[in-house]
Amino acid sequence: SAYNIVVQNICSELYLYDIKQDLALAHARDLEDMSAIHSSYTRIIHATNLEQLASCDIIILAFRKENLKELSSRLVELQNNITELKDIVLSLKHANFKGKYIVATNPNDTITYYTQILSSLPKNHVFGSGTNLDSSRLKKILAKDLDLNPKDITAYMIGEHGDSQFAALSTASVLGQNLLTFCDKMGKKLDIENIEKAVVNEGYFIYKR
């Protein structure tokens, strides 16, 4: 996310904060090196405390307390991330942060909800990434099954970002054609249940590596 923000000149200033100060500083310097290559105008700042972020327009929450190799569900992540969330959001609230949050931390829907409650900000100031990444994974898997480019496919995972999400394949399309109609014409049969499981399990696979 930070890389894309810098390359695309999305903002004039980008603050990087991490409880591991050396890690945040290393990322900031790495982005500074890269920004010169891409002629970026974004000023990159290593924040040493949360109060420095209070004047930001947008804060992206993308943290996890620890790496759980035996992660079995999103709720396990909640137990590990909720304390960190409280520390961050309440500190920023005390510092009078009035901007917007974009939440990438898991379990995404629950963390997004608690971010809004803890911050006391309006609901339209707190956004979760939801099933956006899952929808991208769905397109990738469908593209492999159909031997197509993911850009040729429009398809979405909907519901909670977690085990209960599902593919809205009845509204999916391939090159403007209904996906299921396209598969019938091509003599292709999709294993929808396994496709949905593959999307859900992809996150766990990546997380545990």
Q: What angle do CA 59, 64, 70 make, to 5 degrees?
A: 155
DSSP 175: T
Query: Is 125 a catalytic site residue?
Result: no
Residues with Cβ within 8 Å of residue 160, at least 6 apart in sequence:
109, 131
The side-by-side arrangement of strands in the sheet containing 100-103 is 58-61, 100-103, 126-128
Q: Residue 156, SS3?
A: coil
> Which residue among the candidates 27, 38, 94, 161 is catalytic per the annotation?
161
Identity of the residue numbered 152: D
Chain CA centroid to CA 182, Å:
30
- The b-or-e profile of 11-44 (16+ CB within 10 A means b, else e) is eeebbbbbeeeeebeebbeebbeebeeeebebeb
Annotated catalytic residues are 161
